[in-house]
Amino acid sequence: MEVMEYNGDIVKVSDLHFAYPDEHVALRGISFNLCEGEKVALVGPNGAGKSTLMLQLNGILDGRGAIEIGGLHLTRDNLPVIRSMVGLVFQNPDDQLFSPTVFEDVAFGPLHMGLPEEEVYARVDAALEAVRMSAYRDRLSHHLSVGEKKRIAIATVLSMHPKILILDEPSAGLDPRARRTLINLLRDLPITMLISTHDMRLVQELFPRTIVMDGGRIVADGLTKEILEDEAFLKEHGLEKP
Amino acid sequence: MHSDAFDRYHHKHSLIHQLDPRIKVLITVAFIISNALLPDGAWVAFLLAWGFVLVANVLSQLGIGYTFRRSFIALPFALAAITVLFSIPGKPIGSFQFLMWDMTVTDAGLLRFVSIVIRSWLSVQMAILLVAVTEFPKIVHALTHLRVPAVITMIISFLYRYLFVLTDEVMRLLRARQARSAASPGQRSGGSLGWRARIAGHMAGQLFLRSYERSDRIYNAMLARGYKGELMTIHPHHFERRDWIICVLCIVGMIIMQWTGRI
């Protein structure tokens, strides 16, 4: 399967390498681009480097290579601006929702961006509206179901008005109804997305483009339809045709 | 699995519920200090203080005996003061042999001990009322806006948020152990005490590791949303006339208690 060329104007990653302190090499020369408005799936077996790559795009992990977000190089000086542009939602919503109430969690990002209080309130309301959770504004995070927590977790980054939304395993652990609600939500959000998932039905339904990672490398980057048709290739990389 | 056994907030629309949380925290702290300052044996003042708690109970629509019923949980802690029974000089009112010691209870010691128990019992009732009428996040807000150091309010806030998650984690570990605590027919099950202690130790270690890794992930989630080392909070509360009136009334009440205790 060949790696196609995309001229990205939101995300440009070139020759990114990363090894953890225990010398485990997680990324081996990753290069890809994302265009504005694209919805891209990132798939691959466990340990392929998907989560590591996502943490790189927000500057939480610092690898060797070049990353450009919205025309800005990812450097220490640019980190605050880049973090407001890249909305990163973690796999486990209990890690993402660290404040006692929903409101405080959704307000966390805008407050740390230094926005005035009226603007923070407006953004929180808009973000909760976008994930259809306005009624949960004053609820305590630990009283929510997993599906509700996942939607609030997305709201926590939408309130920062990011240019790109990066989600790690958004449909993991959801019952069919909560999964369907999430899929509809992701479909309707008019924002660039890079979503790591094992849910191949979700990939087929939502994402025109798919990036396949294995062993810290991108082994395919192209049209989802074509990738999903190549059963032998999917099997080779620990994936299944939906 | 879901644990919310630590939530003590009771949702109502009472006057006390609607007060600014800062006022509620301040009055509670002031009441506890006022109790601590009352002299030993100031029975009328203690009675007034209890009346104060009962009025607060009624105004909060929780029922007159709400805090009374829950206050006994704190009594064992008052036993820490039991040594004053024997250590304060005064007229002996009884003695007994404890191991190799002769223990003599004095009248002054008994007076001090009973006063300490009453003071702590009243203070605990007020604290119980505070958490029953104020949502926990609002108490933390109040502390933040009363200039309590951010590191303390942050620790309290994270503790509250993750206590539930950790309890769920513990319950999952216990359930996993229970599910595999099987026995063969005719065999004694459960292993030796030492073996069981080792398993419990492993579970505690497991819980620590999971919590440690989780703290790393939470920190990453905070960084990803722009955290730069200082926690910012919004200021959603405003003092109203009602808050000031209640505050002044409570302060006057406490002054009367102090005055009564000293005449």
pLDDT (tens place) for every residue of chain A, 242 residues total: 555 555 567 899 999 999 998 889 999 999 999 998 899 999 999 999 999 999 999 889 989 999 999 889 999 888 888 988 999 999 889 889 988 889 999 999 999 888 999 999 999 999 999 888 999 998 888 888 988 999 999 999 999 999 999 999 998 888 888 899 889 989 988 899 999 999 999 999 999 999 999 999 999 999 999 999 999 999 999 898 88
CA distance B32 to B49: 10
The DSSP line for chain A is: -PBPP---SSEEEEEEEEE-TT--EEEEEEEEEE-TT-EEEEE--TTSSHHHHHHHHTTSS--EEEEEETTEE--TTTHHHHHHHEEEE-SSHHHH--SSBHHHHHHHHHHHTT--HHHHHHHHHHHHHHTT-GGGTTSBGGGS-HHHHHHHHHHHHHTT--SEEEEESTTTT--HHHHHHHHHHHHH--SEEEEE-S-HHHHHHH-SEEEEEETTEEEEEEEHHHHHH-HHHHHHTT----
pTM given for the model: 0.77
Residues of chain A positioned with their CB less than 8 A from the CB of B4: 142-143
Average pLDDT over residues B84-109: 85
pLDDT at B187 over 80: no
Q: Quick check: helix, strand or coil at residue B214?
A: helix
For residue A124, the model assigns a pLDDT of 95
Residues of chain A positioned with their CB less than 8 A from the CB of B233: 104, 111
Of the partner residues B4, B137, B158, the one whose CB lies closest to the CB of residue A98: B158
- Dihedral sign (CA B86, B88, B94, B95): positive
The whole-chain average pLDDT of chain B stands at: 87
CB A61 within 8 A of CB A240: no
Q: Quick check: helix, strand or coil at residue B120?
A: helix
Question: Do A109 and B225 count as a contact with CB atoms less than 8 A apart?
Answer: yes
Least confident of A62-66, B25-29, B142-146, B191-195: B191-195
- Dihedral sign (CA A175, A178, A180, A186): negative
Average pLDDT over residues B58-83: 87
The DSSP line for A148-217 is: HHHHHHHHHHHTT--SEEEEESTTTT--HHHHHHHHHHHHH--SEEEEE-S-HHHHHHH-SEEEEEETTE
pLDDT at B45 over 70: yes
Q: What are the E-state strand segments in chain B?
A: 92-98, 101-106
Q: What are the E-state strand segments in B20-172?
A: 92-98, 101-106
Q: Model confidence over B203-236: pLDDT tens digits?
A: 899 889 988 888 889 899 998 888 887 777 776 7
CA distance B173 to B43: 50
Question: Do A95 and B223 count as a contact with CB atoms less than 8 A apart?
Answer: no
Of the partner residues A109, A120, A141, the one whose CB lies closest to the CB of residue B161: A141
Q: Does B166 touch chain A (CB under 8 A)?
A: no
CA distance B45 to B53: 12
CA distance B58 to A90: 46
CA distance A51 to A59: 13
Residues of chain A positioned with their CB less than 8 A from the CB of B2: 142
- Strands A209-214 and A217-223, bridge-based pairing: antiparallel
Residue with tokens 């994402």: A207
Average pLDDT over residues B22-26: 94
CB A115 within 8 A of CB A137: no
Residue at B98: amino acid letter:
F
CB B116 within 8 A of CB B82: no
DSSP B71: G
pLDDT at B2 over 80: no
Phi-psi category of B200—alpha, beta or left, where left has phi over 0 and alpha has psi -120 to 50?
A: alpha
For residue A158, the model assigns a pLDDT of 92
Q: Does A208 touch chain B (CB under 8 A)?
A: no
Q: What residues have CB less than 8 Å from A108, skipping those under 6 apart? A: A99, A156, B222, B225, B227, B232
Question: Do B221 and A94 count as a contact with CB atoms less than 8 A apart?
Answer: no
Residues of chain A positioned with their CB less than 8 A from the CB of B21: none
For residue A5, the model assigns a pLDDT of 56
For residue B1, the model assigns a pLDDT of 44
Question: Do B228 and A92 count as a contact with CB atoms less than 8 A apart?
Answer: no
Angle at A45 between CA A24 and CA A190, to 5 degrees: 110
Q: Does B217 touch chain A (CB under 8 A)?
A: yes
pLDDT at B4 over 80: no
CA distance B138 to B57: 19
CB A53 within 8 A of CB A30: yes
Helices and strands in chain B, H and E counts: 11, 2
Q: Distance of alpha carbon A79 from its chain centroid, rounded? A: 17
Q: Distance of alpha carbon B225 from its chain centroid, rounded? A: 33
Q: Quick check: helix, strand or coil at residue B226?
A: coil
B contact test, residue of A20, A74, A76, A98 with most B CBs within 10 A:
A98
Q: Does A98 touch chain B (CB under 8 A)?
A: yes
Minimal CA separation from B165 to chain A, in Å? 8
Minimal CA separation from A98 to chain B, in Å? 7
Average pLDDT over residues B167-183: 84
Question: Do A108 and B234 count as a contact with CB atoms less than 8 A apart?
Answer: no
- Strands A11-19 and A25-34, bridge-based pairing: antiparallel
Q: Does B165 touch chain A (CB under 8 A)?
A: yes
For residue A48, the model assigns a pLDDT of 93
Name beta bridge partners: A194: A40, A166
Question: Do A156 and B225 count as a contact with CB atoms less than 8 A apart?
Answer: yes
Q: Quick check: helix, strand or coil at residue B231?
A: coil
CA distance B16 to B249: 13
